[in-house]
Amino acid sequence: MTSLDKPTEDAQQDSRAVTEAALFDAFGGVRGMVETVVPGLLFVTIFTINKDLHWSAIAALGVSLLLVVVRLVMRDTVKHAFSGVFGVAFGVVFAMMTGNAKDFYLPGMLYTLGLAIAYIVTTLAGVPLIGLILGPVFKENLSWRTRNPGRKKAYAKASWAWGLILLAKCAVLFPLYWWADTTQFGWVLIALKIPPFLLAVWLTWVFLAKAPAPIDVFAEMEAEEKAEKERKAALAAERGDSAPARHRREA
């Protein structure tokens, strides 16, 4: 390794570390995954034991609310826990309205299908959804669209990965929704919660780790504001210095 290679490798390691931290923040990390799985797992476990839709729904909704309370007490971000509460609440409403416990999972399935289509459509439109999600996290906003083509390409690849993985998941779940009983379907759905998600996150990390570094538009704006303040200060100082000289000439 030469002295010229080391800074490059250090920069790549820093970029990968920043990418890992951003993905962890955007998708909730291990805790976010737990909060996603636990309500559904509790629902299918209770329903498997006693076939009681009401108790299963109450337990799932209760644990979702408890997870939000825990985050509030710990003064942690609640966006992932709140999204879980809304998902469980919609599932409970659907299941209670139809009387079919399997419908507890239907809103989540429809959301997954809609999200898969959104990833694909936005990528075809030239504004890949994963870039819209991660741009603010990386402090680059939409600068990747016009100023960082390599990064836009990475976001497009990642969005294709998310879209196709979620479509594959839907291709498994929707037929089972019609054919399998509630218990079988519930356990298959739980089994498919984490692995596709981890695969999509890993592929996103691979694509972004090889992409150019993000352009920090916030740092650029701060630098522009600082330069503007310095320019105004210099002009004010220049005017202040020229005023006594003008008075002396007039005298």
182-234 confidence digits (pLDDT tens): 899 999 999 998 899 989 999 999 999 888 888 888 777 777 777 778 787 77
76: left (phi over 0), alpha (psi -120 to 50) or beta: beta
| Cβ neighbours, 10 Å, residue 92 | 23
Q: What is the pLDDT of residue 6?
A: 41
Please determine, for residue 11, whether its predicted confidence score (pLDDT) is greater than 50: no
Please determine, for residue 160, whether its predicted confidence score (pLDDT) is greater than 70: yes
44-59 confidence digits (pLDDT tens): 999 999 888 989 999 9
pTM beyond 0.75: yes
Q: H or E stretch including 22?
A: helix 5-27
Three-state DSSP state, 99: coil
Is the pLDDT higher at 58 or at 244?
Answer: 58
Q: What is the pLDDT of residue 123?
A: 97
Share the mean pLDDT of the chain.
83
Question: What separation in angstroms does the CA of 51 have from each of 183, 207, 209?
Answer: 9, 45, 47
> What is the b/e burial string over 155-191, where b = at least 16 CB atoms within 10 angstroms of the residue's CB?
bbbbbbbbbebbbebbeebeebbeebebbebbeebbe
Q: What is the pLDDT of residue 19?
A: 72
Please determine, for residue 247, whether its predicted confidence score (pLDDT) is greater than 60: no
What does the domain layout of the chain look like in residue ranges?
9-215, 223-251
63-75 confidence digits (pLDDT tens): 888 888 887 787 7
